[in-house]
Amino acid sequence: MLAQRELVPEGSATAKALDDSLKRWVALTRYLEEGAVPIDNNQIENLIRPWALGRSNWLFAGSLRSGERAAAIMSLIQSARMNGHDPYVYLKDVLTRLPTQRASEIGQLLPHQWTPA
């Protein structure tokens, strides 16, 4: 990489990329010395992608109230996932049962207490 850097014109995008890589050489090669360190972070990138993509979409919720509703729905969906439920199955069941559910028993429809009907 050092030899190639000498051949690249100063200030070019390639030169900047090589300089950046050389500055971080120790971190870039850490996985060679430590077998438990993954070569990439694709798994984490894939987990956060929906939130990163949605971030710009959520700017256009329409109003503060709409944004709060969207946040509540997304929290409910994520909570269902975290409790091992398929969000579609969970929401379909809850929305079907909600009109006839007693107000005193509404907590049973929360993801951590929900059991399919």
Q: Is 108's pLDDT higher than 90?
A: yes
The phi-psi region of residue 115 (left if phi > 0; otherwise alpha if psi is between -120 and 50; otherwise beta) is: beta
Residue 94: count other Cβ atoms within 10 Å of its Cβ: 20
Position 96 scores a pLDDT of 95
Q: What is the pLDDT of residues 43-98, one digit of tens each?
A: 888 888 877 777 777 677 778 888 888 888 888 999 999 999 999 999 999 999 99
Which tokens in the block code for residue 47? 């987990």
Q: Give the helix ranges, DSSP H, for 11-109.
A: 13-23, 25-28, 30-33, 42-57, 64-82, 87-97
Q: pTM higher than 0.75 for the full model? A: no
Helix (H, G, I), strand (E, B) or coil at 84: coil
Q: Is 17's pLDDT higher than 90?
A: yes
Average pLDDT, the chain: 88
Helix (H, G, I), strand (E, B) or coil at 106: helix
